Amino acid sequence: MDLEQLRIFAALAETGSFSAAGKRLYKSHSSVSRTVSALERELGVALAVRDRNSFALTGEGRRLYDGAKALLEQAEELEKSVKEAGE
C-alpha cells in the first residue's frame, strides 16, 4: 500500500463514484477501479460494496479512509515544512 493508492481510495470515498474520483485525479474510471481492487487483494478485505447504481464503504473501507485521510494530511504537512525549510 502506498500514498498514491491511498489518494485514489480517499477520492473514491469522498466522491462515492469511480468516475468522479477519476475526474478529480485525472485518471480513468478503470484505473481507479483497478487500484481499489488491488488494495482489496493486498489487504484481504472488501473496502466497498458496489453495483451499477450504488457505492458504499464497508466498515473496513471506512477505517482505511479515516486512516488514509490522516496520513495524507501528514504527508502534505511534511512536504510543506521541508519546502519551507529549504527556502
pLDDT (tens digit, 9 = 90+) per residue, 13-45? 999 999 999 999 999 999 999 999 999 999 999
Count of structural domains within the chain: 1
- Candidate from 30-44, 45-59, 70-84 with smallest mean pLDDT: 45-59
**CA dihedral defined by 18, 21, 27, 31, rounded to 10 degrees?**
-30
CATH number, domain with residue 29: 1.10.10.10
Residue-number span of the structural domain to which 12 is assigned = 3-86
Percent of all residues in the chain with a pLDDT value above 70, rounded to a whole number: 100
